[in-house]
Amino acid sequence: MLRLAIVDDEAPARASLRAALGSIPVAVEVVGEAHDVESAVALLDSMRPDVVLLDIWLGDGTGFDVVERLSHTETRIIFVTAFDHYAVRAFKSGALHYLLKPVVRDDLQEALERVAATPSRTTMGTTQVRKALQERITIPTAEGFHVLSPGEIIRCESDGNYTGFHLADGEKVLASRTMKEFDAQLEPHGFMRVHLSHLVNMAQVKMYLHRDGGTLLLANGQEVPVSHRRRQEVIEALGRRSSAVKG
């Protein structure tokens, strides 16, 4: 029998999952429910269930925050999400397992049967999810969250308390956080702050132009100014990248 926990910030959603669990031929014991990040971490660390149905949006944070804070690695994670196509694409291309809201009974049964049939408790577990999340960046927006690969991002532009993400497919996503909050996340992926208002994926730079005090021409045809203070650092970074490519 699978010991299972439910984490969702909406009581009707938790009730719906409980009802669906009772109607499928998979032996499940619900060991507890939680409605936010704090209660979820406490529940999962104390009960250590075999699997958790973990909602992405929890009001005070995300399911990703829960995973990062867990003190153990055995519980297997199945995210429950109402995300759009960006998130679905990210989940499909990584080691993340998910169910789309509203959860369909057959999909829930299939997911739990997969967990039950897998001998190793670490498959789909915290360690694998954390590793997969390192290859993604979560962008909170007014509608929900986008989960993107850093390679999809051309550049970021500060817009007051918001950040505009310009993507390789031409779309723009407006994040409800300042650009400063994304600096540390994107720097390991080859991004560089070239201006107070601009963070650039340096792999997308086609040319450095001397005009206007320094300008970067990007692969999508957009131009980004380089601040005087960061000019030398940007030129040196491009030089290192050029040498690495030639090598």
Q: What is the pLDDT of residue 40?
A: 97
My answer on whether 117 and 73 are in the same domain is yes
The three-point CA angle 232-234-235 to 5° equals 65
Neighbours of 238 (CB within 10 A): 16
Parts of the chain with a pLDDT under 70: 83-96, 119-125, 130, 132-134, 241-247
Q: What is the pLDDT of residue 120?
A: 55
What's the CATH code of the domain at 156? 2.40.50.1020
My answer on whether 29 and 131 are in the same domain is yes
Q: How do beta strands 51-55 and 76-81 pair?
A: parallel
Q: pLDDT per residue over 74-124, tens digit each?
A: 888 898 887 655 455 556 545 568 888 889 999 999 999 988 887 555 456
What's the CATH code of the domain at 92? 3.40.50.2300
pTM of the model: 0.64
